[in-house]
Structure 1
Amino acid sequence: MHRIPTLDIRRFDSDRTAFVAEIGAAYREWGFCGISHHGIPTATIDAAYQAFKAFFALPDEVKRRYHLPGTGGARGYTPFGIETAKDSKFPDLKEFWHVGREIPRDSKYADVMPANVWPEEIDGFRKAALDLYNALDGLGSRVLSALALHIGLAEDYFADKTDFGNSILRPIHYPPITAPDIPNVRAGAHEDINLITLLVGASSAGLEVRSTQGEWVPFTADGDTIVVNIGDMLQRLTNHVYPSTTHRVTNPPGDAARQPRYSTPFFLHPNPDFMIETLPSCISADNPNRYPQPISSHEYLLERLREIKLI
């Protein structure tokens, strides 16, 4: 079976041409790639996970104080049994928290990017979450620079299109599975909405990626590797040159199912008013424009959140 590659991002500085070719090829084939030697300190990741686990361990009624109905879960807490993969009959087996970008409240984006909510019960939660948010935002920008170069754009093409991106850090808790006949999986087969997703420190196996041949390929990252995958917005922008690949989180067999699973994806979004319009360099006779009608990233996000029952 083919394996999804893992690449050392230090080579973006030391061996740029080869690195850009390899990362571009990886994403064209898989829509997924592991990124190693990313420079995010282990202490930053560990502090964040410690804070997130402490929050999820709080009593249900305390956590629910941070649930903001009617907001699509944009900030704060989303309880079990709400998010449902598109076309799935069953909700996912997870609860999660959303941290967004800290922006001035007089920003032109303030109406669509609400202020963050912070749990008073957990000391250091805000700092730990924002430190990880900012580290992943920086790493995501480097990955986007390499992807831009691969398709003939300027290295800084995405810089002014994501500097106020409506990006989300989502700590997730998948609880232990105790019933033998649960019909739903921890996260049903889905694609991500955003430009790229960075997944840090998935604490156990379970992530599977569907290959172009239709096989489910397990992808458990080694050590310090961060898994980065293409979302639907980048697929649309690049006219499917970079595919947004279907993936899921399965329930592990045997005793492993009785362990909780924690993971923290960072969904990197463009600025809310960015128009997703097919890049001319990604249109050809063999690949005609699939999306002649542009759409703003905010409108696109709302469309998709309705599909997965978050709004």
Structure 2
Amino acid sequence: MEVPEVPHYIPARPSTVDLDYADLPIIDLAKFSSLGGRAALAIQVRDAMTEHGFFYVINHGFTTSQSERIFDIANVPFEHVTTEEKQRYAGSMKQTGSYQGYKLRQYWHIDGGVQDQVENYNINREVTKREHPHALRPFLPEIAEFARHNHFNVLHPILRLLALGLELPEDTLVNCHGYDAVGESYVRFMKYYPRSDEEEAKTKNVWLKGHTDFGSVTILYSQPVAALQILTREGSWKWLKHIEDALVINAGDALEFLSGGFYPATIHRVVQPPEDQRQHTRLGVFYFVMPDDATKLVPLVDSPVLKRVGVKRRFEDDAAPTMEAWRKGRTAAYGQTELKPASEKGVEEEIIGGVVVKHYN
């Protein structure tokens, strides 16, 4: 198939600064096809999610050239669309509770009166759900195929491994993550821009406060600009290291709710890159995954694992939100509500649907 030409995006070189990197497991999906390999991977994934909440995936079916191509496409909505046209395709997150279209710069409040310097463009896995900027339209077939690849070749194997980790039938989580069901799983292209020294000082170099994602699983394509940090179970922030052609996987709220707290949503943040990358933009490519909108986020109590270790509930089962209600509440509120100081040091919180949501700084 002949594909349209796209200007090549040249990322920054990997940092040579000695950073305190998290030591995360690497999951090799090439082993998934055999029964023995799958059983071993299920243990690896279970331990990775319970101990770290983050892990890398390799051999996920996307080549180096395909990854480079999707980053080239990801840059199009930022560098090849006018400011005027971006405004026309801006999302209305606060009103609709849906990330579709642009999240323009300076929409989120970070800290000290400073607004963000990050732009993102969000595309539902059903790419024809809404209209897109002219420059992006030739690439929609490739973006649609990219969404399908992530859903079936990356997400579904991971969901099967997570279910096995709970000693449940393999398809338990797959069944509530249907590709054609009503839902909001989407591709996100995201670009961070360098900030002024004044903004860095006011926010203590934090670009996005520590938070959890609200879906079940987030798939991030590794890129070289160091800025992403995770909060370890021991309470320290560690950097994520770039691994060429790897994916970075983390757990979100919905997976925590469904797993009865066995797979906790991972707290992570974005900070100013190290000195040798500071003047570069940081381009990100994601597949944000959510269960089907109608899914009620109650623990999978049939799990033999949960029967042994117990269930950690954030709300009673009869008060559990659907995925639709949770994503809309989190989306509408993020970066828009006034956060209140919590009893924990460096933690702020808000209430969404009767559930306490924490932000870490």
Name the TM-score class by shorter chain: 0.7 to 0.9
Q: Per-residue deviation at 1:94?
A: 0.6
Q: Which amino acid aligns with 1:159?
A: V
Which residue of the partner structure matches residue 212 of structure 2?
191
With over 3 angstroms needed to count, the CA separation of the structure-2 counterparts of 1:89 and 1:209, relative to structure 1, is: farther
Which sections of structure 1, spanning at least 5 residues, go unmatched? 105-114
Q: Distance in 1 between matches of 2:47 and 2:220?
A: 20
- What pairs with 1:44-193 in structure 2 (closer than 5 Å)? 44-57=66-79, 58-69=81-92, 70-72=95-97, 74-84=99-109, 90-102=114-126, 115-122=129-136, 124-138=138-152, 139-163=154-178, 164=181, 165-179=183-197, 181-182=199-200, 183-184=202-203, 185-193=206-214
Alpha-carbon contact 1:118-1:125 (below 8 Å) kept = no
Distance 2:244 2:135 in 1: 31
Do the aligned partners of 1:203 and 1:263 also contact (CA within 8 Å) in 2? Answer: no
TM-score, normalization by structure 1: 0.88
Relative distance call for 1:78 and 1:103 in structure 2 (3 A) is closer
Cα contact 1:80–1:95 (8 A) shared by 2: yes
Secondary structure (helix, strand or coil) at the match of 2:33 reads helix
Structure 1 match to 2:345: none
1:103 positional shift: 8.2
Deviation (angstroms), 1:39: 0.8
2:265 maps to 244
User: Does structure 1 conserve the Cα–Cα contact (< 8 Å) formed by 2:98 and 2:331?
Assistant: no
Q: CA contact under 8 A between 2:53 and 2:265: conserved in structure 1?
A: yes
Q: Which amino acid in structure 2 is aligned with residue 94 of structure 1?
A: V
Amino acid paired to 2:43: A
Q: Which residue of 1 aligns with 2:330?
A: 304
- Work out the percentage of aligned pairs sharing the same amino acid: 24
SS at match of 2:45: helix
1:39 counterpart letter in structure 2: G
Size of the aligned set, in residue pairs, is 300
> CA RMSD, aligned part only?
2.4
Measured at CA, do residues 160 and 283 of structure 1 come closer, stay the same or move farther in structure 2, by a change above 3 Å? closer
Shift of 1:3: 0.8
Pairwise CA distance, 1:217: 1.4
Instruction: Please say if residues 230 and 237 of structure 2, whose CA atoms lie closer than 8 Å, have aligned partners that are also in contact.
Output: yes
* Deviations 1:41-90, CA, capped at 9 Å, x for gaps: 333332222122122013322221211433345211110111357x9964
Residue 112 of structure 1 is matched in structure 2 by: none
- SS of equivalent residue, structure 2 residue 135: coil
Residue of structure 2 equivalent to 1:3: 23
Separation in structure 2 between the aligned mates of residue 266 and residue 297 of structure 1, nearest angstrom: 17
State the secondary structure of the residue aligned to 1:295. coil
In terms of mean alpha carbon deviation, does 13-22 or 190-199 score higher? Answer: 13-22
Structure 1 residue 285: deviation in Å? 7.0
CA contact (8 A) 1:88 1:188 kept: no
Deviation at 1:35, TM superposition (A): 0.5
Match of 1:32 in 2: 54
TM-score by length of 2: 0.76
Residue identity in the other structure for 1:64 = Q
CA contact (8 A) 1:44 1:131 kept: no
In the TM superposition, 1:158-307 aligns within 5 A as: 158-163=173-178, 164=181, 165-179=183-197, 181-182=199-200, 183-184=202-203, 185-280=206-301, 281=303, 283-284=306-307, 286-290=309-313, 291-293=315-317, 294-307=320-333
Per the alignment, residue 111 of structure 1 pairs with none
C-alpha separation in 1, matches of 2:136 and 2:253: 34
In the TM superposition, structure 1's runs of 4+ consecutive aligned residues that sit over 6 Å from their partners are none
Compared CA separation, residues 306 and 46, structure 1 to 2 (3 A): same
SS of alignment partner, residue 67 of structure 2: helix
Shift of 1:202: 2.6
Distance 1:39 1:310 in 2: 38
Aligned residues of 1:177 and 1:257 also touching (Cα < 8 A): no
Shift of 1:255: 4.0
SS in 1 for 2:41: helix
Instruction: Decide whether the 8 Å contact of 2:227 with 2:273 is kept in 1.
Output: yes
For the residue of structure 1 that corresponds to 2:162, the secondary structure is: helix
